[in-house]
């Protein structure tokens, strides 16, 4: 049972977040994400000036998630298992906490696939993660996806352990 009061707060919150989202959606125009291929997505996490992490920043997100910013998939699969759900729910909580933030889900594949199929597969994985986030209440308009196929591995070996780490969907928040 939710009290009228909570409902009112919720509405207010929603409205403000919508407004914020509207503002935010204007901004991206200027920041065509990544013109340089080599700006690895991981570098986006580095800016941890000193010890102070600005709440609501990507650095904060990474710190809070403790690894749960990434979910992993089996070979050629894109289904969300229970471990993934736990991680995505944590992400959703953070996103709910900072309703002004948008996020991009990056989909990746391991090197043991053909290039173009891997692009499509990465897109599918990113989309699976996005869909789950939407299903737990995150506005789809705040989420985008991008696939890198097998172009950006995090584990460099050519073995099952490395491949498992590379079959992933990583959520990156946009400040």
Partner 1 sequence: MNLRLISALALVLAAPAAAQQSLPTPQPTEQVPEEGLSGAVSDDSDWQDLGIAIPAFATDADVPTQTSAGSTAALGMSLARVINDDLKNNGLFKPVGPDALPRPAFGEVQAPAYDTWAGRSAEMLVQGYVRAAAGGQVTVGCYLYDVALKQQLAKAGWTVAPGDWRRAAHKCADMVYSRLSGESPFFDSRIAYIAETGPKDRRMKRLAIMDSDGANHRYLTTGQTTVLTPRYSPDYRSILYLSYFNGSPRIYIYDLESNTQRLLLQSSNAVFAPRWSPDGKWVLYSMAIAGNTDIYKMPAGGGAAVRLTDSPGIDIGGSFSPDGTRIVFESDRGGSQQVYVMNADGSDQRRITFFGGRSATPEWSPRGDQIAFTHIAGNFRIAVMTPEGREMRYLTDSWQDEAPTWAPNGRIIQFFRTTRGSGKAGIWQVDLTGRNERKLATPVDGSDPAWGPLRP
Are the CB atoms for 166 and 157 separated by under 8 Å? no
Residue 71 CA to residue 126 CA, distance in Å, equals: 10
9 vs 43, beta carbon nearer partner 1? 43
Closest contact distance (angstroms) between CB of 164 and partner 1 is 16
How is 147-174 classified by DSSP, letter by letter? EEETS--SS--SSHHHHHHHSEEEEEEE
111 vs 136, beta carbon nearer partner 1? 111
Give yes or no for residue 49 binding partner 1 (CB under 8 A): no
* Beta-bridge partner residues of 147: 107
Of 94-153, binders to partner 1 (CB under 8 A) are 111-112, 114-117, 119-121, 123-124, 126-128, 131, 145-147, 151-153
32 vs 50, beta carbon nearer partner 1? 32
Are the CB atoms for 143 and 91 separated by under 8 Å? no
Give yes or no for residue 40 binding partner 1 (CB under 8 A): yes
CA angle, 143 then 148 then 154, to 5°: 105
Q: Contact with partner 1 (CB under 8 A): which of 4, 32, 50, 67? A: 32
Give yes or no for residue 78 binding partner 1 (CB under 8 A): yes
Closest contact distance (angstroms) between CB of 112 and partner 1 is 7
* Beta-bridge partner residues of 70: 170
Residue 60 CA to residue 62 CA, distance in Å, equals: 5
Give yes or no for residue 21 binding partner 1 (CB under 8 A): no
Query: Site residues (CB under 8 A) for partner 1?
Result: 32-38, 40, 76, 78, 111-112, 114-117, 119-121, 123-124, 126-128, 131, 145-147, 151-154, 156-158
């Amino acid at each position: 049972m939710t009290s009228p009061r909570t409902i009112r707060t919720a509405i207010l919150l929603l409205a403000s977040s919508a407004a914020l989202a509207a503002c935010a959606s204007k901004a991206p125009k200027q920041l065509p994400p990544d013109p340089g291929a080599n700006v690895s997505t991981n570098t986006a996490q580095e800016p941890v000036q000193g010890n102070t992490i600005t709440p609501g920043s990507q650095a904060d997100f990474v710190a809070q998630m403790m690894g749960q910013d990434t979910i992993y998939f089996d070979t050629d699969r894109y289904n969300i298992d229970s471990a993934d759900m736990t991680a995505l729910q944590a992400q959703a909580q953070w996103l709910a906490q900072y309703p002004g933030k948008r996020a991009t889900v990056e989909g990746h594949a391991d090197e043991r696939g053909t290039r173009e199929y891997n692009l499509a597969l990465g897109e599918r994985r990113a989309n699976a993660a996005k869909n789950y986030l939407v299903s737990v209440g995150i506005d789809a308009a705040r989420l985008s996806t991008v696939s890198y196929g097998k172009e950006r591995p995090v584990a460099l070996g050519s073995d099952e352990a490395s491949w498992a780490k590379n079959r992933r969907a990583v959520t990156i928040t946009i400040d």
